[in-house]
Amino acid sequence: MLLSAGGVAFAQDTDTTPPETSIIGKPAVISSNLSPSFHFTSSDANSTFQCELDGNGIRPCTSPKMYTFLSEGQHTFLVYATDAAGNIDPSGEEYTWTVDSFGPKVTFTQRPGRQLNPDDDYTWITDDRSPTWAWTAQDPHLTSDTPRCYFYDWDTGREIFWNVPCSSLYAFEGELPDGYYKFEVNVQDEAGNSGSGTTFFYVDTVAPQVHSTNPTGKRVSRFADVVGTFDDEVYDSKQFVNIYKKGSSTPLAVYRYAHSYGGKEIELDPKRALKLGTHYTVKVTTGVNDGANDLETPLQLVLQNEGLTLLA
């Protein structure tokens, strides 16, 4: 009870109305932000606030309230306003959202050709001019307009197509010339994270041919090594070049050398010296390949101490 200046008593107004709390700034429903901020206000300008995250206890706070390095997954933020008269918003304002800071993972389940070097993902090769790809994209929040595909002619620098909608299984409808190519799949999730998968590969439709052979000349040394040179790189093919004594189906014991991985030369060094006056045959079979194509025409080299003859 208060008295006026003339001594007349009157009642003091009492504030019993709780304030209304409003969140006016917040992360997206699916957000990649690990450290989001919340901005909030009250219908009563003199309010103070209390905040809670994921039910871990209410604490005094001010706007903006920032949380740092949140875990992946769903979170709930709750804020209450308390006015100057001590009235508390009974329900407060609540917001639930999901943190997704990882990009989608793209895994190819089918890609052109075979891998020549298991330690190098750039060495895939195929003789298919119209290759096919299949893939999976792992992410719970993929956007509806992905994936997008990119296809690039690495040798000439041309874009075959760029940023076009695609889906697994994808089959290229044209016919590629021999060359080196890059195919990429890009996906995105609702948090704005992106992920991609890339394949590099050679298209090679030309079978290797024997370019030259040694030894040559009128005579062959008893200690001769046989070197076959091809017009293309050959892979894992040493075992398909063998030396046979005339009339025998059992190859000689030899040391085998590929002058470099994927090189163009294969060398055989007999473990014992060749016998004088004896005919030997070197057979180059269709197992020799450039990774995509077998040798088209098997060859035989007849070695003898009086000279060397090449037989197709």
- Residue 38: which domain range? 2-99
CA pair distance 244, 252, nearest whole angstrom: 6
Residues 159, 112: one domain? yes
Residues 44, 22: one domain? yes
The tens digit of pLDDT for each residue in 185-195 reads: 999 999 999 99
Residues 226, 260: one domain? yes
Residues 224, 299: one domain? yes
Residues 95, 110: one domain? no
Residues 109, 95: one domain? no
Residues 263, 302: one domain? yes
CA distances from 275 to 158, 219, 231, 246, 305 (A): 58, 13, 31, 11, 8
Q: What is the pLDDT of residue 139?
A: 94
CATH number of the domain bearing residue 165: 2.60.40.10
Residues 133, 82: one domain? no
CA pair distance 230, 143, nearest whole angstrom: 50
CB 106 within 8 Å of CB 72? no
pTM of the model: 0.79
Residues 189, 214: one domain? no
Residues 12, 55: one domain? yes
In the chain, how many domains are there? 3
Q: What is the pLDDT of residue 1?
A: 44
The tens digit of pLDDT for each residue in 209-243 reads: 888 888 866 678 888 888 988 999 888 788 999 99
The share of the chain scoring above pLDDT 70, in percent, equals 91
Q: What is the pLDDT of residue 263?
A: 87
The tens digit of pLDDT for each residue in 26-80 reads: 999 999 999 999 999 999 999 999 999 999 999 999 999 999 999 999 999 999 9
Residues 236, 265: one domain? yes
Taking 80 as the threshold, does the pLDDT of residue 309 lie above it?
no
CATH number of the domain bearing residue 252: 2.60.40.3710
Q: Domain end: 145, 175, 203, which one?
A: 203
Residue 79 pairs in a beta bridge with 51, 93
Q: Which residue has the higher pLDDT, 3 or 162?
A: 162
Report the length, in residues, of the chain: 312
Q: Domain end: 99, 133, 161, which one?
A: 99
- What integer best gives the mean pLDDT of the chain? 90
3-state SS record for the chain: CEECCCCCEECCCCCCCCCCEEEEECCCCEECCCCCEEEEEECCCCCEEEEEECCCCCEEECCCEECCCCCCEEEEEEEEEECCCCCECCCCEEEEEEECCCCCEEEEEECCCEECCCCCCCCEEECCCCCEEEEEEECCCECCCCCEEEEEECCCCEEEEEEEECCCCEECCCCCCCEEEEEEEEEEECCCCEEEEEEEEEECCCCCCEEEEECCCCCCCCCCCEEEEECCCCCCCHHHEEEEECCCCCECCEEEEECCCCCCEEEEEECCCCCCCCCEEEEECCCCECCCCECCCCEEEEEECCEEEEEC
Residues 146, 215: one domain? no
Token representation of residue 226:
């046989």
Strands 73-82 and 93-99: antiparallel
Letter for the amino acid at 73? G
Q: Domain end: 183, 203, 223, which one?
A: 203
Residue 22 CB partners (closer than 8 Å, separation 6+): 40, 41, 42, 43, 93
Q: What is the pLDDT of residue 9?
A: 53
Taking 60 as the threshold, does the pLDDT of residue 2 lie above it?
no
CA pair distance 198, 289, nearest whole angstrom: 26
